[in-house]
Amino acid sequence: CVGCVWVVLGTALVHVRRNRAGSWQTMRALIDSASQISAITTACVDQLEIKYARWTSPVTGLGGVPIVNVQGRTELSVQPRFAVEPSLAIQAWVLPSITADLPRNNLPCTMKDRFSSLALADPTFHISAPIDILLSGDVYPSVMNGRKVIVDKSLPAAFSSIFG
């Protein structure tokens, strides 16, 4: 697309531990430095068989708007898919959903091809798909390692993380 400006939010396929002592399962996470809370969807909690504490106090979102249907809070263990360290302990709110599928629309396959030389944190970043987990600003410094990669000035920059 000539003249198009692409903004691609940072997603990663991460390993999350099932029911405390169980195996690791791959889930799709959104890494958001501007978010003040980490979250996990109810469907993901059910799939992973993770227990959570019920929560009845109000929780607010963007602009102080109340977040409805907060199910509770839980602790997660999250790690990269191809390494056993680091393992991050995440406090997450359990919500029915986190955001709409990302990206909003599928991106051209040619965009993905331009990043083929990189070990991508989310190899299917260009395909619209659900987000299972939101990793917030408090874990952002533990996730991102600061390397910026410019493949082409007409494409979004890639940023290196513990996930790829």
Residue 69: its pLDDT value, please? 78
Residue 54: its pLDDT value, please? 86
Q: How far apart are CA 55 and CA 53, in angstroms?
A: 6
Residue 1: its pLDDT value, please? 53
pLDDT mean over 106-133: 92
pTM flag (> 0.85): yes
Residue 32: its pLDDT value, please? 94
Residue 26: its pLDDT value, please? 97
Residue 19: its pLDDT value, please? 77
Amino acid (1-letter code) at residue 155: L
Burial of residue 138 (number of CB atoms within 10 Å: 0-12, 13-18, 19+): middle
Burial of residue 116 (number of CB atoms within 10 Å: 0-12, 13-18, 19+): exposed
Residue 133: its pLDDT value, please? 98
pLDDT mean over 88-115: 91
Whether the predicted pLDDT of 150 surpasses 60: yes
Residue 56's nearest CA partner among 42, 41, 66 is 66
Longest Cα–Cα distance of the chain, Å, equals 50
Whether the predicted pLDDT of 164 surpasses 60: yes
Tell me the CB-side half-sphere exposure of residue 129, using CA atoms within 13 A: 15
